[in-house]
Amino acid sequence: MIKETIEKLKGIIAQSDTGHLPLSCRIELMKQVGDVLTVQKIMCECCKKACSVTGRQIMDNVHLLSRINEHLYRKPDSVEDIEKESGELWLHVQNNPDEATTTVSWAIASLGYFVCGDAASMLNPEDYEGEDDDSFDPESMDIDFIVSLVCSGGSPFSDNWKGDVEKRREYWNWYLDMTLAMYENPQQEVIPFHAVNDRNTLHIPVPPGCDPALSGKIERLNSALDSYIHAPTNRKETERMKPYAEDSSLVRIVADVIRGYSCIPSTPQEKEDYRITGIYNYDVIRFWYCVALLAQSPDECAVACLSGLARTLMEQGPGELGILYRILLLLPEREHLHGLTDELANYYRKIIPDLEAAKWLAEAGIPYPDTFEWSVSFRFTSNGETVLLSGNETERKAWFTLSVELFGPQALYGDYTRFTSYHIHVRNGDNSVHGHWNEKDGYLLRDNEYLIKDEHYTPRQLVILMHKLSGVGIRFQKSRPVFPLLKEYPAKP
């Protein structure tokens, strides 16, 4: 029965000049689906489709949609908490109507209310007399229609914002196919969505038939890895792995684990999830401690594993490469690492001149530091004082700081393929006004409303940025700069 209905609806879409599937048709289809939870999942799949089409989302979208998805498919969550988070996202939509992902946020917030409220209303809507989507206020529009706006870039009912008819037609045909798939197998996600993935925990396995001594050492290694709270940052922390690196059998087991584990998105699904969410969760602490273990072994399999990791990161995810390079620099006496260290040093020599921090240093006549990890920072305040002494609320709101930090190449948050080398922050005393600039971001907010949006400034453009800030009433006097704060890593990049 439902298959025949879907074929009929595809005919309606094909014959429509706008590529639209009327609301009355969708309501009849949901009545045939009949199950409230399945209808909720259908609307959730629509929101995931919207994220897939538009790409990188704000974190509020990612968090709420991930939570709803888990609630519907795996582990029921608190509907009160989902409803509260949906209300916060809806408020964000109202305050940021021009944001690139606003329509997606609108759909996800509506989904949250739909999941928490009476979803059965879509199976039997009160006072419905066959109207189409344009008869309803934005707060009352159905989620599947909102997503059609995202996918087509416009509305079939607008004279000035028609969007792409073929993309709208493509979306509604996808919608029908997805509905059939959900009807036939409601436990199976059509678009997998895993923003948070606890399955990526790294664990060193005990091989079958392993002798008790090696088995005990593996257990002690796993216990040690469980106890650390951050990746190794200095020689003392790196040398925690030295006792384990002396056992060649254990080294080979760890090398096999690292070769089969990726610290950057590698599968098509991981890359798609990262494209949408900007998040890739891997076991950062255990992974880099295992790398530190391998770095302290001259075993051929360890050296080969590190070389393979370095080349993969140089080609696909250079943002994470600095952690490996740091570990190598912490072990200068290890002759088996010299070749790889030199290879990475040559790599960084090529990319450093293009960093914004390097360009600023060159224009300022400051030689580039001969250490890999370094920082230069300075700041300005609105009254020339380095700290705000008054606790008066009015004075806190009126007191501003602009801080600039420059540093060596680091991973750009949310984009493992790029480097960052500077941060510019602006904030007032109570943080009700705050802004951030780097290679990716450029914005200024007041009470969560944009004063500046998607305007990028570098440290070499501070005068231009300050002029822009003066246009919204923010002016600065110079405070004492803080010059090179160099971490003591001996090797040169």
- Taking the complete model, does pTM exceed 0.85, yes or no? no
Average pLDDT along the chain = 87
Checking if the pLDDT of 319 tops 80, the result is: no
Q: What is residue 493's predicted lDDT score, i.e. its pLDDT?
A: 37
Considering 68-72, 301-305, 377-381, 489-493, the range whose residues carry the highest mean pLDDT is: 301-305
Q: How far apart are CA 421 and CA 308, in angstroms?
A: 26
Across 108-122, 256-270, 342-356, least confident range:
108-122
- Which pLDDT band holds residue 183 (cuts at 50, 70, 90)? very high
Cα dist from 324 to 93, 123, 156, 208, 264, whole Å: 41, 56, 53, 31, 13
Strands (E), 218-271: none
- Which residue did the predictor score with more confidence, 139 or 303? 303
Mean pLDDT of 305-333: 92
Q: What is residue 170's predicted lDDT score, i.e. its pLDDT?
A: 95
Mean pLDDT of 370-392: 80
Listed residue (40, 21, 392) closest to 175, CA to CA? 21
CA terminus-to-terminus distance, the chain: 68
- Which pLDDT band holds residue 123 (cuts at 50, 70, 90)? low
Mean pLDDT of 258-284: 81
* pLDDT > 70 fraction of the chain, expressed in percent and rounded: 90
DSSP 405: E
Q: What is residue 486's predicted lDDT score, i.e. its pLDDT?
A: 44
The vertex-72 CA angle with 71 and 74, nearest 5°, equals 70
Neighbouring residues of 214: CB distance < 8 A, sequence distance ≥ 6: 247, 249, 250
Q: What is residue 248's predicted lDDT score, i.e. its pLDDT?
A: 96
Q: How far apart are CA 97 and CA 77, in angstroms?
A: 29
- Which pLDDT band holds residue 357 (cuts at 50, 70, 90)? very high
Q: What is residue 487's predicted lDDT score, i.e. its pLDDT?
A: 42
Across 100-104, 312-316, 461-465, least confident range:
100-104
Checking if the pLDDT of 194 tops 70, the result is: no
pLDDT in tens, 413-457: 777 788 899 999 999 988 889 999 999 889 999 887 889 988 999
Checking if the pLDDT of 287 tops 70, the result is: yes
- Report which residue type is found at 67: R
Checking if the pLDDT of 15 tops 50, the result is: yes
Q: What is residue 332's predicted lDDT score, i.e. its pLDDT?
A: 95
Contacts 24+ apart (CB under 8 A), 435-444: 437/465, 438/412, 439/356, 439/412, 440/412, 440/413, 440/414, 440/415, 444/469, 444/472
Mean pLDDT of 98-105: 80
Q: What is residue 122's predicted lDDT score, i.e. its pLDDT?
A: 64
Q: What is residue 389's predicted lDDT score, i.e. its pLDDT?
A: 62
Q: How far apart are CA 136 and CA 148, in angstroms?
A: 15
- Which pLDDT band holds residue 300 (cuts at 50, 70, 90)? very high
Checking if the pLDDT of 480 tops 60, the result is: no
> Residue 200 CB: number of other CB atoms within 10 A?
18
- Which pLDDT band holds residue 489 (cuts at 50, 70, 90)? very low
The vertex-18 CA angle with 12 and 22, nearest 5°, equals 50
